[in-house]
A = this chain, B = another copy of it.
Amino acid sequence: MTLQTAPARPVGSRAADAVVKAIETRIAAGDLPDGAPLPPERDLIETFGVSRTVVREAVATLASRGLVESRPRFRPVVRRPGYDAALAAASGVVGFLLAQSDGVKSLYDIRIFLEAALVRHAAKHARKEDIEALKQALDANEAAIPDSQRFYRTDVAFHAVLYDIPKNPVFPSIHKAFTSWLEPHWVKMERSPERNRVNFLRHSDIYRAIRDRDPDGAEAALNAHLNAAWEYVRGTFDDI
């Protein structure tokens, strides 16, 4: 005699999928608010009438989609995902791709391409507050020239302002993704106050072109800046 409940489920689909969908719906409905812990696995078993195997698989799927965050031995926490989560989900494969030949270069070129468009946009549409924010980031960058670690942070922050200007929530997430993906390849680069000063001057060029409403100049300055940076770090990749 079989003790298992009859499947009564279309073949070619997993039982876990139904659970995933149900939980997704609950999150979307706000039933499980952001930050709340997921019900214990043993409760979900009863709720959905499935085995713990299925529940665990479902939770794993949700985690891979960024809808919940699960650390070992902790209750999974609901995370109403933003655009960063979407890009974070891709980061597994991206890491794989970066390890392959020209992977870093391809992605870096995309970044240059996008950022060139961003500075052009900024030169045309930035508002006074935006230019103000850019100026502040630039000043912080200058102040950090002697301290390479702090310089890197202010460098990233300066570029981040460019992604904020269009006021589209996707852009800041893209920036976060780029920095997190490319950062490991950047930290290997030796840094020095002299290099920092050069980079600061490039930032300064970009800032002035934007302030002066010069799209072509801004684009040229940004391309010069990022391409020079690439030439500078290229040496660390000759093993690829």
Contacts and interface: CB of A to CB of B under 8 A. Distances in A.
Interface of A: 11-14, 24, 28, 53, 56-57, 60-61, 64-67, 71-73, 81-83, 85-87, 89-90, 92-94, 96-97, 99, 106-107, 109-110, 113-114, 116-117, 120-121, 166, 168-171
Contacts of A114: 114, 117
A113 B117 CA distance: 8
This chain's copy number in the assembly: 2
Given A106-B168, A106-B170, A107-B170, A28 B96 contact: yes
A222 to B, nearest CB: 12
A86 B93 CA distance: 5
A73 B108 CA distance: 40
A71 B13 CA distance: 8
A113 B83 contact: no
Given A11-B72, A60-B61, A168-B109, A81 B53 contact: no
B96 A67 contact: yes
Nearest to A71: B12
